[in-house]
Structure 1
């Protein structure tokens, strides 16, 4: 394209009369030219600027540099040797150079804008992948670890009881097996979800699922659930997972707890939940990701989260907006 544009400029400058005259003679060329129409001059300028913009935008740096130098040189030469009317030669050359700078600058801006768009798209893709990994990590921790924790608690209890009563210890083994079956089912459900490239289906009856979760926790739980309306699926799933993780932490870290209160209710614009126990055994940090996962869930939904000691036990509380964050 650069060759075509430069050839066209030389043609209109006097190339038909000889290359040496077109380049070296200080004049408009030899003889009358059929290419001197002002419309062709305008088309020539537009073509040259378009080439400069395209070079600065799309061409590799080496090719773009060569094209820019060639077009600007030929354009400046043409502006110098042609008739200019009221415009001086220096003014015509200055105008050509100014237009060239504008065209190249425009092309460079377009190149930078496109590169920025590509980088932003790559960053968005990386962020989406990171969010997917975090979501899968939370699901693994909240679902599978919940069942595995139950298995460990029952197995340890069976070991303690076995020294005094083997029959009672054997009676605890079916619970361990059931926990393993539940963990396998949770893993299979997650694998099916990943294969289907979708989001795990949220509960359609959050109240019923919360009651089932509390009943299966084997903890002395007092439940207050007031959900008069159906919440959106991702919100319902997060409520269920936070309560599940809070109960799992109570079983794991506060085995001496004699009372747990689970409260889930609707306010005007949010779901308010709290899980509080009266257990005293609570390590400073167990190396797990339960609290981190709960806080991430709440933060992604635009809510507020707190977990900490109350002086008489441990409290987990969250406020989750009913409306999705824009």
Structure 2
């Protein structure tokens, strides 16, 4: 049974139950507004039975206002209210009719409030995720000078040298153009790789030594970390920045969401054509969306790099893994 059908099935069941109880307690002739005297069972006309009926009706009314689609919910709420007022009239005449109306309105109002609150929360979460993605794009402009400008400067130097050499040796000058082409290809690849970067929240600055940067990051994390870093010296700088920031964000998440963690392990190594990293802790497992959007930025970055990303609970804690391709050409 689909979830959105359940409130209406519950409405039918509750309406039928309230009518049957009204007939049993007052006589079905009175429940059907017949002139004949009703013969009822007074066992059903007790405060506990009335309380159960009220709780069922109010609970279904709240559920309809909270979960059901608009117009079907209105029809179901009207049916509930009519059945409730009918039961009240048959049992107590007009004595409790105002109370039935007030309680019904209160239940519907509470359901609508919860519905609007959940919708607002979902919209805020979507807006926050969009802000993260927008910040990732804006940060790319800050890194263009550090990475792409390096390639472009090299291209300019080689082109100038080729122009000078061309006056004396055209063949040698033509051979130097290959370096210009390679530099342009590297620059284009670097631009595509830097579409996503982490937000500017104290991100660590990268130097030319990625292994040293990672060890320094681990040392400054304030956590008990066992680090295993096995990298070659020729990791492209744009890829090194991504590795560094992914590890930093993972350690930040450990500090924020795994305060009981006593063991954290960082492993970064160079595999066959890719850099593989993992950050594992033994803290209490937490939801994948723990009030922040660090994982959103990490996943965005890895996907833009053409890699693979996973974050989730293990039997003893939490793990973040990523595989980033080493090839940076377009």
Greater Rg over alpha carbons, structure: 1
TM-score (norm 2): 0.49
